[in-house]
Structure 1
Amino acid sequence: MHVYSLDFKNFRRLKDVRIDLSNDLTLFVGANNSGKTSATHALDLFLSGSKDKFTVHDFSASCWGDFEKYPAEIAGDTKIEFPSISLDVWISVDADNLYRVVELLPSAAWEGSLVGLRIEFGAKDAAQTLANFRAKAAIAAKFTKTKEEDGQDYRPWPRNMRDYLSREMKNEYGLRYFILDEAQLKTDGTSETVTLKEIIGDTERSGHTIINSLIKVDFLSAQRHLSDGNAQARTEDLSKRLSRFYTRNQKQREEDHSALRALALSEEELTKHFADVFSDTFKSLRKLGYPGLANPALEIRAALNLGRLMGDQQAKVHYLLEEATAEVEALALPDSYNGLGFKNLIYMGVELLDLHSAWSTTEEGEEDKRQPIHLVFIEEPEAHMHAQLQQAFVRKLTDLISPTGDDGFTTQFVISTHSPHILYERGFQPIRYFRRSPESGSKQSSAVFNLSIFYDNNEPDRDFLQRYMKLTHCDLFFADAAILVEGNVERLLLPLMIARGSKRLSSSYLSILEVGGAFAFRFRKLIEFLGLPTLIVTDLDSVYPALPKKDNTDTAEDSATVEATEVSDYEDDQSEDEDEDEDEDNGGQDSDGVKKPKPRSKCPASTPGAISANQTLCQWLPGKSLVEELLAASTEEKLQQPTDDGGAHVMVTYQCPINATWGTETLELKSRTLEEAFAYENLAWCQKKDNRDVGLRWSKSSTMSLEILASKIHKRVKGESFKKTNFALGLLASSDTNWLVPTYILEGLNWLATHVTVGDTEPVDAMPEHSPDAALTAVEEKND
């Protein structure tokens, strides 16, 4: 028996959200302000049964207009409906536990495994609420002043219905409870179209009593006070007054060994008592498996002080560094001498054991009052803990407290976290991903996605993606948007290019994942499932096509001739360029002795008939393999839009033709990699002697034509001796910042900036026009 799901309506960002819970451990993940805390707070509000804790601000922003559409004067036949907030709790129950939920069975003929209860916070009497508002508004109107008539604007409370409810919510709204019928909901679609059976509050057991007899909810907040004592306490009572008196006079009795002996004996006996009481707890805490060679055990030692004997007597935690023997007392340090991480781990362990004990322990004769389900919410357990300790906690949590107990009793844990290290331990199945999703206007809401559904439906790619997460501690689930990059060079340089080319993205939380052109398309289904705006920055990766059939020999000969000409142009007699490799593309010779390229070997992007070796471009966007077609692809062909069924905004960007200038020459150049694109758009910068560390300089480049210089850049970049990481590090280390972000990258960043929600603002759907000149102008202005 366990909580199967929670359905929220109109609560803050949770406009219409269903959250499925695992029967042992569920992870709430998502970007900041995506609704994770709202879900736990809503459950606390509804199960506490106190309507006075709700405020008008707990209603989703989209509901505010529904409050304000009722003016002070309306037609008599207008139907009055005010928004309500509701929580549907669905409980999975087996045959052995049906007796526990008999009051929630919708009918005697009920068959199924789920029972449900709706808790609704709504207007007690909508018509009376409106009448009360109109009465107050009429009084307020007498004191209203306008700037035109009175020289100032003044509108006293209540200015509108929402303003009225900000003060009168507790009087106008109340909680109601309804029984849900799973079969009826499946038949009729949604509960909005069916009549629900209400549990009347004056019956033998109210709805609040029923739900609280089934579920015990506890919360372990992220705000854990780990320091000793409470320095702010100012309680003045008799004990403290006597304590100050005793302190002032005890100095006169420092040699009173009778008193000291009594304290020593008391400390010894109290320490033994604490050891007995906490024995089982400390044994359980060892299951947390704190990593390290010297794992300290715990001991509670009494610490009685003459000066505080009449006040707040204390018992302090000590950490044993070695075991005690008959001859030697154990070496121990006070709690304050240990780090916050370990202290936090022990604190949470003790707190969880205490909460579990309070739920599982019942007084004699009150066994029937124990709730069968214990739901424990743990907020951000990663506070103060390093990666290995976070993993140890989530790995050992279910060892510390078993989710399933005897006689149908169940403990379910829900962890709200921002830690990719915790995801590392648990994989996809327990993840519930909260994603911010903008509505019309400035209204905001969130959607929640069950990653176990993705796991079950994507068997080919799920194992690869989970292994990738374990290798990289993937932070995809906490980002505002994702950028998939080709390799290590892009991963190193992209943050710098973002800072230079797209200031708005600098304030967003971006997940930059190095996935390569051959594997980016394997992230497609996950990105579409999450609905995460994603930019793919990849390379054109032009290569020679496979050898044509015999009846197409003319084309093959033409391609071979072009390549042979380029190879001859690559000859270089400069000592600075001796590190260049032999042309790796030569696949042999034809009958005329002309060199012919090896199929699928690297070639310039301008090579006729070239194809792309990049599987993302071939299998995803824009879904083409011929380089000529890729270079001619329109902006729309590089974009993927979400559909009514889901999906995500996705754009792929790769090298595009640019007009390069060298001296008095200007040519249209086509590049196949980031390094080439950077060099062509920053020719003068790369040829400066001070920038030789990027590896794209020739000592006599000033004597070369633009065509020859471009061919040399292509050959060097594709050569085995070119160190791409050195290129990236050289650019990062350069003090000369007058370089331009490659056009294709800048175009992609501009697009992504229109789809990233910054500060809860509405994203813009406009796509910047593909204009290299405009993009270069923008970068130049930025550099200036």
Structure 2
Amino acid sequence: MYIDFVELGNFRKLLATRIDLSPKKTIFVGANNSGKTSAMLAFRRFLSQSASSFKLQDLTLSHISALEEIGKKWEQHDPKSGDPVPIHMSEWVSLLPFLDLWLNVDEGEFHYVSSIMPNLDWAGGLIGLRLRLEPANLEEMFYDFRKSRNEAKALLLAASERAKSKAEEAGTVYTEPRIPVWPCDLPDYLDRVLSRKFKVVAYPLDPAKIEPPTSTLAKPQTLSEASRPLKEDPLKHLIRVNFEPAQRGMSDENETSGPDDRFEAFPGQKLSSQLGHYHQKHLDPTESPSPDDLGALEAIEAARAAFDERIGEAFQPAFVEVEGMNYPGITDPQIQVTSELKAGDILHHKTSVSYFMGDPAKLGTSHKLMRLPENQNGLGYQNLISMVFKLMRFRDAWMRVGKAEKDDETIFEPIHLVLLEEPEAHLHVQVQQVFIKKAYDVLRQHERLGDKKSLITQLVVSTHSSHVAHETPYNCLRYFRRLPAGMCTEVPISTVVNLKEVFGDSEIETKNFVTRYLRAQHSDLFFADAAILIEGSAERMLVPHFIENKFPFLHQCFVTLLEINGSHAHRLKELIEKLGLLTLIITDIDAGKKSTGEKAKVSGALPAKGDGLVTTNATLKSWLPKESEFDVLVEMAFDKKFVEHDQLFAVRVAYQTAVIKAVDDLKGEAVTIYPSTFEDSMVLQNVDFFKELEGNDLTRKIRETLTSEPNWSAVATKLYEALGKGSKASFALDVLSDDSFDDLTVPNYIAEGLKWLEDRLRTNKSDILPKESEDG
């Protein structure tokens, strides 16, 4: 049995969202403010079934106005009118946060879910449970709200009368006092009392009514008015939940540990405190001692007696001084200092956990170990050790290891859900990769666990680390995508994309290529606001500087650049479309002969219209704009170079376009040149810069060509030939190193593409989509 998926509704930005969970490990990825943390909190709060941690801010913002309207009806009700009290649970149902938990249950496990079986005909498979936050007593809350509002109104009226009186006495103009008296409306009332006036209630769900989600919203089933809540705790003996937050407080020496139960979120602590807690729960010899513990107990008692004797002698002079103050008197108790030494106390000393440097095997010679307190080890190592140890604690508490062991009738929850938030904090890249690969194994290191299927561990990790994401198979990744106000609802929300379905079984080769490529690139694709796919090393070095110097808003956005040749960029198509990630593809037109597919060399000249050329670029042919004819590509209109998938997601391609240069003769005619690469397009639009640019190899050939050839056609031809032989990376380095770099003109096709991307991001980043005009 395992959690197959959950559907979250009305919880923060998760208005109606389905999150599929892998049977073992699931990784939440996505840009900042996309809802990953909200999802982790929802798991923790609903599965603990405690309303005390919920706040008004946990409701989706679009529902606040509906609460205001309910509050107005409640205030306007006149009990003398004889009208029924306006208390209708149906008004609240669509506003209440909930979590639908769907379990996949096998035969032999029905006893765990007997309380939520939909009917006697159910034969296993999916079974569902809704956990909903709702008013504990709606009628009681109605009267309490009215009472609180009446008191607030009376206080405001008294303040108003007082202000009027003062104004009359002073002969000044009366101004209505602005006093923030609670509650001003129903949301304000709930902001203070929600945790006390609400409770989490469980309802059974019908597997026959499951509907697949759309690309933006889930379709959780609607409970009928006849639905009755479950009386018993449906999660008892079913799910154990542990949570490790992102803020682990490694340097906080004052933080203490809370109780350990099946919904524990062991807070961040120094390692010595964690060891002390682990010792108390699983190793303490004073708890149900066994014969193996007798030696330890004897040693502790001997240490305690010796310490008592010594401390009594040490304090005796002080007690004599106190007696001089007539204490203790005849009836006063005598003072005695004794120790309450326990085994776990040793681990609470601030230097009880230390790190040593040296070789323990050489002890007994002149060799000594150098010891350092735990807070002098690197923060990354402290964090790593802490997280691994907490995973061990989660596992051992579940398995009742050591002193936590009960008896042969102990019921182990069949599902252990571990929620781990941003484990990459303070960890080096290599350590991040190792940790995410090994974390699940740590949680299964027990004789009852391992590869056995009867007890299931499901690890859920939220991360901002591309290194963590790239060490995880696609079928374990869940991508959180932001949707701005105006797209699905009037407030910004989020949806979750299951990347398990991004590549079909028939695309194994593409999947393997994309996986290896992204790992090699360490791309931030899963966390970016937009992506730019670029052709080669020269663009990879220069485009970021173009963005910084010429496109300030774009520079402020989180844009990831991927260097991938045009012959391979189309392999990212399925992934980009699944993520719904705004993307610009900067590539080369790669003109070639129709018959052979070889790159064009017509009479030694540049590609030209009318020569029957085609593009050899697979991206242009199969992804965008799905055109192969060179003549059509170079004349293509702006709006044909991008495809709009939705209001947020579009993909645009940018490739070389015509550069027009005036012929230096009396007629003043112009010649149209069709560059074939980033480099010759760059040179043709920055002639004066490259005439003066110092450098070797390709840079030198370009400088010589610009100063020696008689006309632009000859210059373009020579550039084309030189670029086929020279080092483009060296060319880019020469350009970057020049003091006049900031004054360069960005190649026209790149500038056009970057301007498009910047304009789109201004809309996407606003969190509010512009309203369309009436004429469309």
TM-score bracket for the superposition, by shorter chain length:
0.7 to 0.9
Query: Is 1:379 aligned with 2:416?
Result: no
Q: 1:184 offset after TM fit, Å? A: 3.6
- Structure 2 partner of 1:698: 704
Change beyond 3 A, Cα 1:364–1:738: closer
**Hey, what's the Cα distance between the residues in 1 that align with 2:770 and 2:764?**
17
Measured against aligned partners, the alpha-carbon deviations of 1:713-735 in whole angstroms (never above 9, x if no partner) come to 33322x21x21111211121111
Query: Is 1:424 aligned with 2:470?
Result: yes
Conservation of the 8 A alpha-carbon contact between 1:622 and 1:633: no
- Structure 2 partner of 1:175: 200
Query: Is 1:315 aligned with 2:339?
Result: no
- Structure 1 partner of 2:479: 433
Q: 1:635 offset after TM fit, Å? A: 2.2
Q: 1:230 offset after TM fit, Å? A: 4.5
**Equivalences for residues 375-454 of structure 1 within 5 A:** 375-402=417-444, 404=449, 408-440=454-486, 443-454=491-502
- Structure 2 partner of 1:543: 592
**Hey, what's the Cα distance between the residues in 1 that align with 2:710 and 2:439?**
67
Match of 1:339 among 351, 359, 378: 378
**Hey, what's the Cα distance between the residues in 1 that align with 2:750 and 2:492?**
30
Change beyond 3 A, Cα 1:704–1:320: same
- Structure 2 partner of 1:533: 582
Change beyond 3 A, Cα 1:452–1:543: same
**Hey, what's the Cα distance between the residues in 2 that align with 1:616 and 1:604?**
19
Measured against aligned partners, the alpha-carbon deviations of 1:350-405 in whole angstroms (never above 9, x if no partner) come to 11111211111054348444322111112222222212212221222233232845
User: Any idea what SS the aligned residue of 1:731 has?
Assistant: helix
- Structure 1 partner of 2:239: 215
- Structure 2 partner of 1:742: 747
Return the letter of the residue paired with 1:167: R
Return the letter of the residue paired with 1:756: L
Q: 1:13 offset after TM fit, Å? A: 1.5
**Hey, what's the Cα distance between the residues in 2 that align with 1:28 and 1:651?**
27
Measured against aligned partners, the alpha-carbon deviations of 1:258-283 in whole angstroms (never above 9, x if no partner) come to xxxxxxxxxxxx9xx99x969xxxxx
Change beyond 3 A, Cα 1:377–1:71: closer
- Structure 2 partner of 1:673: 677
Query: Is 1:349 aligned with 2:361?
Result: no
User: Any idea what SS the aligned residue of 2:652 has?
Assistant: strand
Query: Is 1:478 aligned with 2:523?
Result: no
Query: Is 1:165 aligned with 2:190?
Result: yes
Q: 1:118 offset after TM fit, Å? A: 0.5
Q: 1:123 offset after TM fit, Å? A: 3.8
- Structure 2 partner of 1:502: 551
- Structure 2 partner of 1:118: 130
With normalisation by structure 1, the TM-score equals: 0.74
Conservation of the 8 A alpha-carbon contact between 1:373 and 1:412: yes
With normalisation by structure 2, the TM-score equals: 0.74
Q: 1:407 offset after TM fit, Å? A: 7.5
Measured against aligned partners, the alpha-carbon deviations of 1:154-213 in whole angstroms (never above 9, x if no partner) come to 67544443233222323553322101121243599751265674334xx4x2xxx32143
- Structure 2 partner of 1:199: 229
Conservation of the 8 A alpha-carbon contact between 1:13 and 1:446: yes
Change beyond 3 A, Cα 1:228–1:745: same
Conservation of the 8 A alpha-carbon contact between 2:533 and 2:583: yes
- Structure 1 partner of 2:652: 651
**Equivalences for residues 81-96 of structure 1 within 5 A:** 81-82=91-92, 83-96=95-108
Return the letter of the residue paired with 2:502: F
Conservation of the 8 A alpha-carbon contact between 2:709 and 2:715: no
Return the letter of the residue paired with 2:628: S
- Structure 2 partner of 1:12: 12
**Hey, what's the Cα distance between the residues in 2 that align with 1:766 and 1:55?**
32
Conservation of the 8 A alpha-carbon contact between 2:29 and 2:478: yes
Conservation of the 8 A alpha-carbon contact between 2:202 and 2:234: no
Aligned length: 647
Query: Is 1:360 aligned with 2:399?
Result: yes
Conservation of the 8 A alpha-carbon contact between 1:484 and 1:513: yes
With 339-348 and 31-40 compared, the bigger mean Cα shift is at 339-348
Return the letter of the residue paired with 2:91: E
User: Any idea what SS the aligned residue of 1:210 has?
Assistant: coil
Measured against aligned partners, the alpha-carbon deviations of 1:690-723 in whole angstroms (never above 9, x if no partner) come to 5888453227627733333333333322x21x21
Conservation of the 8 A alpha-carbon contact between 1:178 and 1:196: no
Match of 1:683 among 678, 682, 687: 687
With 73-82 and 364-373 compared, the bigger mean Cα shift is at 73-82
Change beyond 3 A, Cα 1:170–1:534: same
Change beyond 3 A, Cα 1:465–1:187: closer
Conservation of the 8 A alpha-carbon contact between 1:322 and 1:331: yes
- Structure 2 partner of 1:290: none
- Structure 2 partner of 1:99: 111
With 630-639 and 686-695 compared, the bigger mean Cα shift is at 686-695
Q: 1:667 offset after TM fit, Å? A: 3.8
Match of 2:714 among 708, 715, 724: 708
**Equivalences for residues 522-601 of structure 1 within 5 A:** 522-546=571-595, 563-564=602-603
Measured against aligned partners, the alpha-carbon deviations of 1:445-498 in whole angstroms (never above 9, x if no partner) come to 111111122244543521211121232223211111111111111111111111
**% identical equivalent positions:** 31
Change beyond 3 A, Cα 1:760–1:745: closer
**Hey, what's the Cα distance between the residues in 2 that align with 1:157 and 1:702?**
83
With 657-666 and 485-494 compared, the bigger mean Cα shift is at 657-666
Change beyond 3 A, Cα 1:445–1:704: same
**Hey, what's the Cα distance between the residues in 2 that align with 1:408 and 1:231?**
36
**Hey, what's the Cα distance between the residues in 2 that align with 1:496 and 1:537?**
15
**Equivalences for residues 123-272 of structure 1 within 5 A:** 123-124=135-136, 143=156, 150=175, 156-185=181-210, 190-192=220-222, 194=224, 197-200=227-230, 203=231, 205=232, 209-227=233-251, 229-230=253-254
Conservation of the 8 A alpha-carbon contact between 2:355 and 2:377: no
Change beyond 3 A, Cα 1:639–1:198: same
**Hey, what's the Cα distance between the residues in 1 that align with 2:211 and 2:481?**
26
User: Any idea what SS the aligned residue of 2:397 has?
Assistant: helix
With 322-331 and 606-615 compared, the bigger mean Cα shift is at 322-331
**Hey, what's the Cα distance between the residues in 2 that align with 1:428 and 1:196?**
41
User: Any idea what SS the aligned residue of 1:393 has?
Assistant: helix
Change beyond 3 A, Cα 1:191–1:322: same
**Hey, what's the Cα distance between the residues in 1 that align with 2:752 and 2:55?**
45
**Hey, what's the Cα distance between the residues in 1 that align with 2:388 and 2:179?**
55
With 392-401 and 4-13 compared, the bigger mean Cα shift is at 392-401
Return the letter of the residue paired with 1:400: V
**Hey, what's the Cα distance between the residues in 2 that align with 1:424 and 1:7?**
26
- Structure 1 partner of 2:42: 42
- Structure 1 partner of 2:264: none
Return the letter of the residue paired with 1:427: P
**Hey, what's the Cα distance between the residues in 2 that align with 1:665 and 1:214?**
83
C-alpha RMSD over aligned residues:
4.0
**Structure number with higher relative contact order (C-alpha < 8 Å, ≥ 6 residues apart):** 2
**Hey, what's the Cα distance between the residues in 2 that align with 1:670 and 1:141?**
76
Conservation of the 8 A alpha-carbon contact between 1:324 and 1:330: no
**Hey, what's the Cα distance between the residues in 1 that align with 2:536 and 2:114?**
59
Change beyond 3 A, Cα 1:195–1:691: farther
**Hey, what's the Cα distance between the residues in 1 that align with 2:363 and 2:611?**
88
